[in-house]
Amino acid sequence: MVNHPPHYTSHPSGVECIQVTEHMGFNLGNAVKYIWRSDLKKDAIEDLKKARWYLDREIARREDAA
């Protein structure tokens, strides 16, 4: 349950989310993680809101750097 719980490994693509997100920065990786798993867990809306939070954080970080 720690390394490979069902919602980590049950995506229809057969790909585990970490295989994609480990190549991204923290905020974008977390946003993708929450989007990726949103329909595999109980509350998709909550996960989509979490993804939006990370996207907003990344946008703010990039705007501050510009």
C-alpha span between 46 and 31 (Å, rounded): 12
* Domain-wise residue ranges, the chain: 6-65
- What is the model's pTM? 0.77
Query: Residues 61, 34: contact at Cβ < 8 Å?
Result: no
Q: Which pLDDT value is given to residue 12?
A: 79
pLDDT tens digit sequence for 1-56: 667 666 667 777 878 888 888 899 999 999 999 998 898 878 899 999 999 999 99
At CA 39, angle to CA 17 and CA 1, rounded to 5?
55
